[in-house]
């Protein structure tokens, strides 16, 4: 995602949902959220949910 952020937009335009893994670092979580990724798989679910304001 970080190397090719435009790829996410192309996938969305084509009607695809984007799921990413393994996203553990706060900066990477923020980037995924900013790009509209639909699902983030992580080893740190509480941290990610808290960061996204979902706890």
Rg of the chain, C-alpha, whole Å: 11
* Mean pLDDT (the chain, rounded): 97
For the chain, the domains span 5-51
User: The whole model's pTM is what?
Assistant: 0.91
Q: Which helix (H) or strand (E) holds 45?
A: helix 45-51
Q: What is the dihedral of CA 26, 28, 34, 40, to 10 degrees?
A: -90
The pLDDT of 19-36, averaged and rounded, is 98
């Amino acid at each position: 995602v970080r190397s090719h952020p435009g790829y996410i937009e192309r996938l969305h335009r084509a009607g695809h949902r984007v799921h990413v893994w393994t996203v553990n670092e706060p900066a990477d979580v923020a980037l995924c959220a900013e790009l509209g990724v639909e699902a983030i798989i992580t080893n740190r679910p509480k941290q990610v949910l808290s960061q996204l304001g979902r706890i």
